[in-house]
C-alpha cells in the first residue's frame, strides 16, 4: 500500500511542508530512514537526525523549528508521537487477517465455535470448548476440554491452554505460552520424597489482557488463578497457582510471581522481578528490574528496588556506599589507629 | 459429580455436624466458598472465614471449637489438611483420562508402543522410540528417534523430546518443555568467532520426576544429563548439559543450573536461583530465591542467600546494615570530625 | 559404528600405545568411562581418573606421563581437547539427517522452497515464505507469511517464526523458540489503562547464529530487531523489540535485554543478566551472572558484576566487606563508646 503526503496529512489533520505528492509505503525510525518511508520526530534527543534522514516524509510537532536544511517532506501535527501511533494502528487494522478453518484441524464435535473465526492447521479444540466470534486460533494451538475464549481474542501459534481455562474478550496470547498447567504443589511424604497435591482449580483471564510469548500461568489448586482486565504480561513471565493480578498492572519480561501472591492494580514491574509466596502488593507499586519481594507491600504507589526490595532512593543511597565500602573501612582502620587500637 | 456430607464423611472416617444430606459438586477456598462447594479449615489464620463462608460443607479438625454461629455443615476429621488432599486425589483419579490414538498422528513404523496409551492429534513419535504402557502423549508432542518413555508417564501438549532421551516411569512433563536440546558449547576459533562443539550425549530422567511447563534440560556433550528419581522442577527451569540433580531435590521456577554442575539430594531451590558451571552442591542445601552460587557448597543442609550466596542469617544481618549504610557513614563522619579530621 | 584404536589414531595423526585393535563405538567422560567407549584427558584436574577409567581408549597429550599403571589403550596427540572436538564433529557429520517432506504438512502454494529440504509432519509454511536449500524444518514448526530462511539452517521442533522474519544461512534455532512476536509496547490511555502500540517491524537474524531452546526475539516496533552474524544465544534468553546484538556475542541462559538496547561485538554474558532499555554496551564487555545494567557501558572490554553492575574486582572487594558489615558496625560502636558517645 502506498500513500501520498497529502493523504496522510488529511488523515492526521496535519499540514504538509514540501512535496505533497511524495509517496511512502512503510515506516522507519528517523535514524534509519530510507527513501519511500515515513518517519517521525517526537523525542528532541533525535532532532539531529532530521537533517540527515533519507525518510521521504517526517511527522513533526507544530512547534518544531528546523536549524538547518531538511530534505524530507514534513507533516506538522499537534503531537507527532500520538500521530504515528494512530497511523500504526490504522496500518495494522488494514493488514490482511487470516480467516476460515484450514485443513488438518481437530475440532471436537462437542466444541462450540462462533462466527467468523480462524482456525489454523494442526490446531486442536477439545470437548465442550467454547470459541467466541472473530477469534483467531493460529496453527498448532491446543485448546483443552471446557476452555472458553471470548470474542475477538487472538491466540498465536503453539499456545497450550489446559482444560477449563476461561479467557475473556479482546485478549492476545503470543506464541508458545502455556495457560493452566498444574501449580507446583507437593507435600513431603515423611520419607524425604514428595507427593503431588492435585491441582483442580483453573485460570481466569479477564478482557483486554495481553500475554507475551512463552509465559506460564498455572491453574489454581482450588478456585482460580486470576488475571484482571487490562493486564499486560511480557515474555517469559511466570504466574504461579492461585495468584491474582489486579487490573491494568504491567509486568516486564522474565518476572516470576510465587503461589497465592496478590498483586494490586496499576502496578509496574521491571524485568526479572521475583515476588514470594503469599505476598500482597499494594496498588500502584513500582518495582525496579531484578527486585525481590518477600514481604507485603502495604503503602500504595511505593517505588522499590533491591533484594529484598526497599525504597528506591534509599537503595541507591546505600548502594553508593556499598561501592565505596573499601574506602569506608580504610577510614575506620585509620580512626582505630589514631585511638591506639592498631 | 455430586456427593452428600454423609458420603464424604464416610470416605474420610469423619463425623457430620449439620445437614448430612447437603450436596456439593466442587471444591473452594474457605474465603471464596460458594453454596454447593466443599471447603476446609486447616490454618488457624483463616478461622474467621468459617463464620462468613457460603461453602456448604467445611472440613475441620476434631479439636476445632467455633466461637460464633456457623451456617455451613461441618465434617470433623483428624487432620483437615490431609483429608482435603485425600479428597483431591480421589477426585483427580476419577476424572476422565484421554485414551486411544487420535487421527492425524505420526507414529514411525519402527516405533514400539505399549498397551493402553493415548496419543493426541498432531503428535509425532520417531523411529525406534519406545513408549511404555498407559503413557499419555498429548497433542502436538514431538518424540524424537530412539526416545524411551516409561510406563504411566504423562507428556502434556507441545513437549519436544530430542533423540535418545530416556524418561522413566510415572513421570509428568508439562506443556512446551524441551528435553534434550543441544548443550551450549562453543570453542573460540581463534578469530573472535566460535565453533560449535557437537553435543552427542543424552538426557536421562529417572522415575517419578515432575517437570513444569517451558523447562529446558539440555543433552550432555558426552555421557548424560541426569535427573534422579523424585526430582520436582517448576516452570521455566534451565538445566544445562552434563548436570546431575540428586533425588527428591525440588527447584522453584525460573532457576538455572549451568553446565556440569552437580546438585545433591533433597535440596530445595527458591525461584530465580543461579548455579554456576561445575559447582557441586551438598545434599540438603536450601537456597533462598534469587541466590547465586559460584563455588562448591560442601556442608550439608546449609541455608543460603545472596549473590554470591552465604549463610542466610548472616546475609540478613549484613543486609540490615546495608539498608542503614547512610547512617553508618554519617556516624563515621562524626567520629572523624570529633578527632579533628574534617 | 565401530572404530579401532588404529583407525582413530590415523584420523588424528596420533600414536597408539596399547592394543591397536581394540574397538570403541561411543564416547564417554573419563570419570564415567565404560568398556567400548573412547574418552580423553585434557584437564590435569582429571588425571587421577585415567588410572581407574574403564574406557577402552583414552586420548592424551603427547607430553602426558603416567604415574601408575593404565589399563586403557592410549592415543597420544598434540592437543587432546582439540582432537576430541574434531572426532565429535566427524561423528556428528556422519549421523543420519532427516530429509524429504513428511505427510501432513501445510506448505502454502505461494511459498518457495529450495533443494534438498526436510519438512517434518505438522510443520506450517506460510504464504510467500522462502526456504533455502538444505534447510531442515522439524515437526510442528510454524513459519509465518513472508519469512525467509537461508541455506543450511536447521529449525528444531515447535519453533514459531512470525511473519516477515529474515533468517540467514547456517543458523540453528532450537525447539520451542519464538521469533518475531510483538514487542512489549503500550501507551497509557490517560485513564489508567494502556493502549497497544502496533509492532510492525521485523526480526533479522544474520548468518551462523545459534539460538537455544525457548528463546524469544521480539519484532521491532519500526525497523528491525537485529542479531548479527555468529551470535550464540542460550536457552530462555529474551531479546526485546529494536535490540541489536553485535557479531560473535555470546549470551548465557535466562538473560534478558530490554527494548532498543544495543549490544556490542564479542561480548560475553553470564546467565540471568538483565540489560535495561536503551542501554548501549561497548564491544568486548563481559558481564558476570545475574548482573543488572541500567546505564551505558562505554569502555570496551570491561568486566562487570552486580546490580547495578560495576568493575568485578571492585564488586568482590565491596562484597567481602558486605559479608563483614556486622563486625564493621561493632568496630564503629566501640569507637563511639571510647569517645564517650554511648
Helix (H) or strand (E) holding B321: helix B312-323
Distances (CA, A) of C170 to B162, B190, C154: 20, 20, 8
CB contact under 8 A, C140 and A156: no
The stretches of B131-268 forming alpha helices (DSSP H) are none
Is the pLDDT at A217 greater than 90, yes or no? Answer: yes
**Stated length of chain C:** 342
Is the pLDDT at B56 greater than 60, yes or no? Answer: yes
3-state SS, residue A260: coil
**B155 phi and psi angles, rounded to 5 deg:** -115, 110
Q: Average pLDDT of chain B?
A: 94
Interchain CB contact of A273 with B (< 8 Å)? no
Residue B43 burial by Cβ neighbours in a 10 Å radius (0-12, 13-18, 19+): exposed
Interchain CB contact of B276 with C (< 8 Å)? yes
Which of A35-44, A101-110, A278-287, C267-276 has the least mean pLDDT?
A: A35-44
**B131-172 pLDDT tens trace:** 999 999 999 999 999 999 999 999 999 999 999 999 999 999
Chains in contact with A, where contact requires at least 3 CB pairs less than 8 Å apart: B, C
Given this model, what pLDDT does residue B148 score? 98
| Residue to substitute from A105, A292, A328, interface B, most B β-carbons within 10 A | A292
Mean pLDDT along residues A304-332? 97
Interchain CB contact of C223 with A (< 8 Å)? yes
Mean pLDDT along residues B316-341? 93
Distances (CA, A) of C11 to C57, C60, C337: 14, 15, 76
Which of C29, C214, C336 lies closest to B222 in CB terms?
Answer: C29
The position carrying cell 455430586 is B2
Which of A142, A187, A328 lies closest to B157 in CB terms?
Answer: A142
Q: CB neighbours of B115 closer than 8 A, spacing ≥ 6?
A: B133, B134
Question: What domains can you pick out in chain A, each with its CATH number?
Answer: 3-94 (3.40.1390.10), 101-315 (2.160.10.10)
CA-CA-CA-CA torsion sign (A12, A18, A20, A26): negative
Judging contacts by C-beta atoms under 8 Å, the chain C residues touching residue B218 are 213, 235
Interchain CB contact of C118 with A (< 8 Å)? no
- Sheet holding C244-245: strands in order across? C112-113, C130-131, C148-149, C166-167, C202-205, C224-227, C244-245, C262-263, C280-281
Query: Quick check: A88 and C200 in contact, CB under 8 A?
Result: yes
CB contact under 8 A, B85 and A198: yes
Q: CB neighbours of B191 closer than 8 A, spacing ≥ 6?
A: none
Mean pLDDT along residues B268-275? 98
Taking CA–CA distances from A127, the nearest residue in chain B reads B98
CB contact under 8 A, B176 and A192: no
Q: CB neighbours of B35 closer than 8 A, spacing ≥ 6?
A: B54, B55, B56
CA B69 to chain centre: 40
Interchain CB contact of C210 with B (< 8 Å)? yes
Segments of B201-275 assigned E as strands: 202-205, 210-211, 216-217, 224-227, 232-233, 238-239, 244-245, 250-251, 256-257, 262-263, 268-269, 274-275
3-state SS, residue B244: strand
Given this model, what pLDDT does residue C1 score? 61
Judging contacts by C-beta atoms under 8 Å, the chain C residues touching residue A250 are 186, 194
Interchain CB contact of C51 with B (< 8 Å)? no
CB contact under 8 A, B214 and A310: no
**A167-182 pLDDT tens trace:** 999 999 999 999 999 9
Confidence at A198, pLDDT banded by 50, 70, 90: confident
Write the Ramachandran bin of A191: left for phi over 0, alpha for psi from -120 to 50, otherwise beta: alpha
Interchain CB contact of A106 with C (< 8 Å)? no
CA-CA-CA-CA torsion sign (C54, C58, C61, C65): positive
Rounded-to-integer distance, Cα A320 and Cα A137, Å? 51
The DSSP annotation for C145-210 comes to TT-EE-TT-EE-TT-EE-TT-EE-TT-EE-TT-EESPPP--EEE-SSS-EEEPP---EEEE-TT-E
Query: Quick check: A237 and A215 in contact, CB under 8 A?
Result: yes
CB contact under 8 A, B216 and C235: yes
Judging contacts by C-beta atoms under 8 Å, the chain B residues touching residue C92 are 198, 200
Query: Quick check: B204 and B224 in contact, CB under 8 A?
Result: yes
3-state SS, residue B82: helix
Residue among B15, B24, B6, B29 at smallest CA distance from B63? B15
Which of A186, A256, A332 lies closest to B271 in CB terms?
Answer: A256
Given this model, what pLDDT does residue C94 score? 67
CB contact under 8 A, C256 and A271: yes
CB atoms under 10 Å from CB of C104, counted, come to: 18
Chains in contact with B, where contact requires at least 3 CB pairs less than 8 Å apart: A, C
Mean pLDDT along residues A154-168? 97
Given this model, what pLDDT does residue C179 score? 98
CB contact under 8 A, A212 and C216: yes
Q: A with B: how many residue pairs have Cβ under 8 Å apart? A: 173
How open is the CA angle C90-C92-C94, to the nearest 5 degrees? 70
Rounded-to-integer distance, Cα C92 and Cα B201, Å? 11
Given this model, what pLDDT does residue C191 score? 80
Interchain CB contact of C65 with A (< 8 Å)? no
Helix (H) or strand (E) holding B143: strand B142-143
Rounded-to-integer distance, Cα A216 and Cα B224, Å? 28
Quick one: cell of B216?
529446558
C198 min Cα distance to partner chain A (Å):
6
Judging contacts by C-beta atoms under 8 Å, the chain B residues touching residue C211 are none
Interchain CB contact of A67 with B (< 8 Å)? no
Is the pLDDT at A107 greater than 80, yes or no? Answer: yes
Which of B106, B142, B331 lies closest to C332 in CB terms?
Answer: B331
CB contact under 8 A, B104 and C102: no
Distances (CA, A) of B296 to B131, B291, B309, B311: 38, 14, 11, 14
3-state SS, residue B284: coil
Rounded-to-integer distance, Cα C270 and Cα C255, Å? 8
Rounded to the nearest 10 degrees, the angle between the axes of helix A325-338 and helix C312-323 is: 50
Given this model, what pLDDT does residue C89 score? 77
Write the Ramachandran bin of B306: left for phi over 0, alpha for psi from -120 to 50, otherwise beta: left
Residue B95 burial by Cβ neighbours in a 10 Å radius (0-12, 13-18, 19+): exposed
Distances (CA, A) of B174 to A218, B257, C62, C109: 11, 19, 49, 35
State the catalytic residue, choosing from A241, A278, A316, A321.
Answer: A241
Given this model, what pLDDT does residue A187 score? 80
The DSSP secondary-structure symbol of C98 reads: P
Which of A238-242, A279-283, C79-83 has the least mean pLDDT?
A: C79-83
Given this model, what pLDDT does residue A92 score? 72
The DSSP secondary-structure symbol of B47 reads: G
Which of C106, C193, C238 lies closest to A102 in CB terms?
Answer: C106
Distances (CA, A) of A285 to A277, B23, C72: 17, 43, 64
Mean pLDDT along residues A253-275? 98
Interchain CB contact of C208 with B (< 8 Å)? yes
Interchain CB contact of A194 with B (< 8 Å)? yes
**A25-78 pLDDT tens trace:** 888 888 888 898 899 998 888 999 999 999 999 999 999 999 999 999 999 999
Interchain CB contact of C27 with B (< 8 Å)? yes
Residue among B277, B278, B272, B276 at smallest CA distance from B291? B272
The DSSP secondary-structure symbol of A31 reads: G
Burial call A113-129: b when 16+ CB within 10 Å, e when fewer: beeebbbbbbbbbbeeb
Which of A140, A192, A238 lies closest to B140 in CB terms?
Answer: A140
Quick one: cell of B324?
542503614
Interchain CB contact of C88 with B (< 8 Å)? yes
The position carrying cell 500500500 is A1
Judging contacts by C-beta atoms under 8 Å, the chain B residues touching residue C323 are 310, 314, 318
| Residue to substitute from A138, A173, A175, A196, interface B, most B β-carbons within 10 A | A196
Judging contacts by C-beta atoms under 8 Å, the chain B residues touching residue C234 are 184, 238
| Residue to substitute from A222, A259, A269, A337, interface B, most B β-carbons within 10 A | A222
Residue C13 burial by Cβ neighbours in a 10 Å radius (0-12, 13-18, 19+): exposed
Given this model, what pLDDT does residue C26 score? 81
**B157 phi and psi angles, rounded to 5 deg:** -55, 135
CB contact under 8 A, A290 and C292: yes
Rounded-to-integer distance, Cα C148 and Cα B280, Å? 44
How open is the CA angle B152-B156-B159, to the nearest 5 degrees? 115
Taking CA–CA distances from A249, the nearest residue in chain C reads C193
Rounded-to-integer distance, Cα A291 and Cα A309, Å? 6
Q: How many percent of chain B have pLDDT more than 90?
A: 80
Tell me the ipTM for this assembly. 0.87
3-state SS, residue A125: strand
**B293-312 pLDDT tens trace:** 999 999 999 999 999 999 99
Q: Is A108 an active-site residue?
A: no
Interchain CB contact of A214 with B (< 8 Å)? yes
Which of C175, C208, C326 lies closest to B181 in CB terms?
Answer: C175
Confidence at A95, pLDDT banded by 50, 70, 90: confident
pTM given for the model: 0.89
Chains in contact with C, where contact requires at least 3 CB pairs less than 8 Å apart: A, B
CB contact under 8 A, C106 and A335: no
Helix (H) or strand (E) holding B7: helix B5-12
Query: Quick check: A149 and A155 in contact, CB under 8 A?
Result: yes
Helix (H) or strand (E) holding B167: strand B166-167
Helix (H) or strand (E) holding C323: helix C312-323
Q: Divide the 342 residues of chain C into consecutive groups of 10 and give the mean pLDDT of each group.
A: 86 93 87 88 90 94 93 94 84 80 97 98 97 98 97 98 97 98 87 84 97 97 94 98 98 98 98 97 98 98 97 98 97 91 52
Q: B with C: how many residue pairs have Cβ under 8 Å apart? A: 174
Residue among B264, B248, B171 at smallest CA distance from A191? B248
Query: Quick check: A80 and A60 in contact, CB under 8 A?
Result: yes
Quick one: cell of C1?
559404528
| Residue to substitute from A253, A332, A340, interface C, most C β-carbons within 10 A | A253
C-alpha R_g of chain C: 27
Q: Average pLDDT of chain A?
A: 94
Q: A with C: how many residue pairs have Cβ under 8 Å apart? A: 173
Interchain CB contact of A303 with B (< 8 Å)? no
Amino acid at each position: 500500500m502506498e500513500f501520498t503526503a497529502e493523504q496522510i496529512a488529511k488523515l492526521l489533520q496535519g499540514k504538509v511542508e514540501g512535496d505533497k505528492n511524495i509517496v511512502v509505503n512503510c515506516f522507519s525510525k528517523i535514524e534509519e530512514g530510507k527513501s519511500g518511508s515515513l518517519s517521525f520526530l517526537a523525542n528532541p534527543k533525535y532532532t539531529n537526525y532530521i537533517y540527515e534522514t533519507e525518510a521521504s516524509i517526517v511527522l513533526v510537532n507544530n512547534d518544531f523549528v528546523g536549524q538547518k536544511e531538511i530534505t524530507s517532506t514534513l507533516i506538522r501535527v499537534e503531537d507527532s508521537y500520538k500521530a504515528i501511533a494512530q497511523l500504526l494502528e490504522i496500518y495494522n487494522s488494514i493488514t490482511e487477517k487470516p480467516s476460515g478453518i484450514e485443513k488438518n484441524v481437530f475440532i471436537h464435535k462437542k466444541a462450540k465455535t462462533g462466527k467468523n473465526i480462524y482456525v489454523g492447521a494442526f490446531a486442536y479444540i477439545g470437548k465442550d470448548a467454547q470459541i467466541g466470534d472473530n477469534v483467531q486460533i493460529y496453527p498448532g494451538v491446543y485448546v483443552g476440554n471446557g476452555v472458553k475464549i471470548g470474542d475477538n481474542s487472538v491466540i498465536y501459534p503453539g499456545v497450550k491452554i489446559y482444560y477449563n481455562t476461561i479467557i475473556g474478550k479482546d485478549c492476545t496470547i503470543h506464541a508458545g505460552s502455556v495457560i493452566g498447567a498444574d501449580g507446583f504443589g507437593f507435600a513431603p511424604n515423611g520419607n524425604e520424597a514428595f507427593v503431588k497435591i492435585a491441582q483442580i482449580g483453573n485460570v481466569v483471564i479477564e478482557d483486554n489482557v495481553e500475554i507475551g510469548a512463552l509465559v506460564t500461568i498455572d491453574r489454581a489448586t482450588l478456585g482460580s488463578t486470576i488475571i484482571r482486565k487490562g493486564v499486560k504480561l511480557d515474555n517469559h513471565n511466570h504466574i504461579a497457582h492461585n495468584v491474582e493480578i489486579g487490573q491494568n498492572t504491567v509486568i516486564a519480561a522474565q518476572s516470576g510471581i510465587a503461589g497465592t501472591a496478590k498483586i494490586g492494580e496499576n502496578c509496574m514491574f521491571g524485568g526479572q522481578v521475583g515476588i514470594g509466596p503469599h505476598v500482597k502488593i499494594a496498588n500502584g507499586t513500582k518495582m525496579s528490574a531484578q527486585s525481590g519481594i518477600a514481604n507485603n507491600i502495604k503503602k500504595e504507589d511505593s517505588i522499590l528496588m533491591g533484594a529484598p526490595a526497599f525504597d528506591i532512593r534509599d537503595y541507591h543511597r546505600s548502594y553508593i556506599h556499598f561501592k565505596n565500602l573499601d574506602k569506608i573501612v580504610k577510614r575506620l582502620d585509620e580512626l582505630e589507629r589514631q585511638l591506639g587500637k592498631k
